[in-house]
């Protein structure tokens, strides 16, 4: 039997739009179905004709719920894909909050374009709607980690934990006696709320992500900076603002705040989780105990709620959020978006950045051009919500929080293979990162390796 793989996205120097087509004599499946995000030429690719006729696909297999891996699915279904979407149970739970949210953003964008006439299309239509997102959820088929399933005739697949976010899996496929392994996004080792990436023993062809293929994360404990930030807020009787992604990072921060309180390293301040999506994600993280690491399981058995600092408050509604305007510090607000590109954190930043008692702690990657990056680089004033806001707050940064394996952690995972794959393709990284990882794999492991080309088709 012959089989081939075509890299339709998340290859050739891009980190978004992850999509790989696996074809054999008996079936065709898509590994991941991600949305292109970032600069306009990339985003326009979401609007082009689908790279594969959706009606001809037997199934989609999703590595995890992040939108750059799942966010094209509603469009695929809208354009005629009616087959099953295989993913883990916790990925499905996360998709239930993330895809409707993504659809909502698309609808808002179209609405904005129509009101402000910023488009040549009349009327501007959303890439997809909430109804399309619901269609995906109806087509989803949850499978357990380790359990074999058959996404198409002649193709057998299974997930093993990749440690990246809740539900994230490495996908291993067997096609006509050949083994294809797709890393999805690899997580880090020793993160308190996640299991470590599971080693995989064998692959003929391997796809490995390279987001941080040219970087080693700083060795410092991320909690040191968090401790300093909380202590400053308490001393100044001011607010600590933590812009954080709703899924993964917010739970990690809540977990660490609770641990630091328990250890007596920080005072117990009110902690406002000001994000409906983060609140829902935290419930999902708490529910899927099968994916927690041993320490977390032990905590829960002892009756501790691992994501609940003593004075946790949930701000579900806009009114809850606005009420914080009249609440005196000290206190902590965790809200999205993680790079201060939108969301409720903007309103808090606008109000509190001019106050020198305020502390802002950035706990994740800040992309070029975002407000997060500008603040991190020391901007003295910043535009937001129609005004120029002076920055007198203390800006702090912790680069040690990351959901992606760095170069050394990727190598550690690769060393888990019992023999070198016949061929390894580097995917999901900017050109520098992908090239650097290819060179490292070649020089340190001596494997046959290439950076996957955009649109390239290879035999399995
Ligand atoms: Zn991811």
The pLDDT score that the predictor gives to residue 346 is 94
The per-residue pLDDT for range 367-426, each reduced to its tens digit, is 777 899 999 999 999 998 889 999 999 999 988 888 899 999 999 999 999 999 999 999
Residue 172 has pLDDT above 90, yes or no: yes
- Average pLDDT score over residue span 422-446: 97
The pLDDT score that the predictor gives to residue 333 is 98
What is the whole-number distance in angstroms between the Cα of residue 65 and the centre of ligand 1? 7
The CA distance from 250 to 282, in Å, is 8
What is the whole-number distance in angstroms between the Cα of residue 74 and the centre of ligand 1? 18
Residue 303 has pLDDT above 90, yes or no: no
What is the whole-number distance in angstroms between the Cα of residue 64 and the centre of ligand 1? 7
Residue 431 has pLDDT above 90, yes or no: yes
The CA distance from 177 to 156, in Å, is 10
- Average pLDDT score over residue span 440-450: 98
Res. 295 pLDDT band, cuts 50 70 90:
confident
Residues 6 or more apart from 173 whose CB is under 8 A from it? 22, 31, 61, 155, 156, 157, 179, 180, 181, 182
What is the whole-number distance in angstroms between the Cα of residue 20 and the centre of ligand 1? 15
- Average pLDDT score over residue span 140-149: 97
What is the whole-number distance in angstroms between the Cα of residue 159 and the centre of ligand 1? 15
Residues with a beta carbon under 5 angstroms from ion ligand 1: 66, 185
Res. 301 pLDDT band, cuts 50 70 90:
confident
What is the whole-number distance in angstroms between the Cα of residue 187 and the centre of ligand 1? 9
If we measure between CA atoms, which residue out of 304, 227, 242 comes closest to residue 274? 242
CB distance 457 to 28 below 8 Å: no
What is the whole-number distance in angstroms between the Cα of residue 62 and the centre of ligand 1? 11
Residue with more model confidence, 38 or 313: 313
What is the whole-number distance in angstroms between the Cα of residue 188 and the centre of ligand 1? 12
Residue 81's Cα: distance from chain center in Å? Answer: 24
The per-residue pLDDT for range 40-89, each reduced to its tens digit, is 888 899 999 999 999 999 999 999 999 999 999 999 999 999 999 999 99
Residue 118 has pLDDT above 80, yes or no: no
Percent of the chain with pLDDT strictly greater than 70: 100
The pLDDT score that the predictor gives to residue 245 is 92
What is the whole-number distance in angstroms between the Cα of residue 185 and the centre of ligand 1? 5
The pLDDT score that the predictor gives to residue 15 is 87
The CA distance from 360 to 371, in Å, is 12
What is the whole-number distance in angstroms between the Cα of residue 122 and the centre of ligand 1? 35
Residue 122 has pLDDT above 80, yes or no: no
Residue 297 has pLDDT above 90, yes or no: no
Residue 253: phi and psi, rounded to 5, are -65, -45
Residue with tokens 């032990």: 298
What is the whole-number distance in angstroms between the Cα of residue 380 and the centre of ligand 1? 32
**pTM to 2 decimal places:** 0.93
The per-residue pLDDT for range 246-274, each reduced to its tens digit, is 999 999 999 999 999 999 999 999 999 99
What is the whole-number distance in angstroms between the Cα of residue 211 and the centre of ligand 1? 10
Res. 117 pLDDT band, cuts 50 70 90:
confident
Task: Quote the tokens at residue 13.
Answer: 């120097």
The pLDDT score that the predictor gives to residue 222 is 84
- Burial level of 344, CB count in 10 A (0-12/13-18/19+)? buried
Residue 115 has pLDDT above 90, yes or no: no
Residue 266's Cα: distance from chain center in Å? Answer: 29
- Average pLDDT score over residue span 325-334: 96
What is the whole-number distance in angstroms between the Cα of residue 353 and the centre of ligand 1? 30
Residues 6 or more apart from 131 whose CB is under 8 A from it? none
What is the whole-number distance in angstroms between the Cα of residue 212 and the centre of ligand 1? 12
Among 145-154, 311-320, 334-343, 445-454, whose mean pLDDT is lowest?
Answer: 334-343
What is the whole-number distance in angstroms between the Cα of residue 162 and the centre of ligand 1? 10
What is the whole-number distance in angstroms between the Cα of residue 61 and the centre of ligand 1? 15
What is the whole-number distance in angstroms between the Cα of residue 66 and the centre of ligand 1? 5
- Average pLDDT score over residue span 6-11: 94
Residue 262: phi and psi, rounded to 5, are -60, -35
The pLDDT score that the predictor gives to residue 296 is 80
Res. 104 pLDDT band, cuts 50 70 90:
very high
What is the whole-number distance in angstroms between the Cα of residue 404 and the centre of ligand 1? 8
The pLDDT score that the predictor gives to residue 290 is 82
Residue 436: phi and psi, rounded to 5, are -65, -40
Residue 151 has pLDDT above 80, yes or no: yes
Residue with more model confidence, 193 or 442: 442
Residue with more model confidence, 105 or 152: 152
């Amino acid at each position: 039997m012959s089989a081939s793989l075509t890299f339709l996205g998340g290859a050739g120097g891009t980190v978004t739009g992850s999509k790989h087509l696996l074809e054999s004599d008996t079936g065709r499946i898509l590994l991941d179905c991600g949305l292109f995000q970032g600069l306009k030429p990339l985003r326009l690719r979401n609007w082009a004709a689908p790279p594969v006729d959706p009606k001809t696909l037997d199934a989609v297999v999703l590595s995890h719920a992040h939108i750059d891996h799942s966010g094209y699915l509603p469009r695929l279904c809208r354009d005629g894909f009616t087959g099953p979407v295989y993913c883990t149970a916790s990925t499905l739970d996360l998709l239930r909050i993330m895809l409707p949210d993504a659809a909502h953003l698309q609808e808002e964008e179209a609405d904005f374009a129509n009101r402000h006439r910023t488009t040549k299309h009349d009327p501007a239509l959303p890439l997809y709607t909430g109804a399309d997102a619901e269609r995906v959820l109806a087509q989803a088929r949850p499978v357990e980690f380790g359990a074999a399933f058959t996404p198409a005739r002649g193709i057998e697949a299974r997930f093993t934990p990749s440690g990246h976010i809740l539900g994230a899996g490495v996908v291993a496929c067997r096609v006509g006696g050949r083994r294809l392994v797709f890393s999805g996004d690899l997580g880090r080792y020793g993160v308190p709320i996640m299991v470590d990436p599971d080693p995989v023993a064998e692959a003929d062809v391997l796809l490995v992500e390279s987001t941080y293929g040219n970087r080693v994360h700083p060795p410092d404990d991320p909690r040191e900076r968090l401790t300093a930030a909380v202590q400053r807020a308490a001393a100044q009787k001011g607010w600590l603002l933590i812009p954080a992604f709703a899924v993964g990072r917010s739970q990690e921060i809540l977990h660490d705040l609770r641990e630091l309180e328990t250890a007596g390293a920080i005072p117990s301040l009110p902690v406002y989780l000001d994000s409906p999506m983060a609140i829902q994600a935290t419930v999902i993280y708490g529910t899927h105990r099968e994916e927690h690491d041993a320490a977390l399981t032990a905590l829960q058995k002892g009756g501790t709620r691992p994501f609940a600092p003593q004075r946790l408050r949930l701000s579900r509604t806009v009114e809850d959020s606005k009420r914080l305007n009249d609440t005196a510090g000290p206190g902590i607000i965790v809200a999205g978006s993680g790079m201060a590109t939108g969301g409720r954190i903007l309103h808090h930043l606008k109000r509190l950045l001019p106050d020198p008692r305020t502390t802002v702690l950035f706990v994740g990657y800040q992309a070029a051009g975002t407000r997060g990056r500008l603040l991190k680089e020391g901007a003295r004033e910043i535009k937001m919500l129609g005004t120029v806001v002076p920055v007198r707050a203390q800006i702090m940064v912790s680069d040690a929080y990351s959901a992606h394996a760095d170069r050394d952690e990727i190598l550690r995972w690769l060393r888990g293979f019992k023999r070198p794959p016949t061929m390894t393709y580097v995917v999901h990284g900017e050109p520098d990162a992908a090239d650097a990882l290819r060179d490292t794999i070649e020089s340190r492991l001596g494997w046959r390796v290439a950076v996957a080309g955009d649109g390239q088709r290879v035999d399995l």
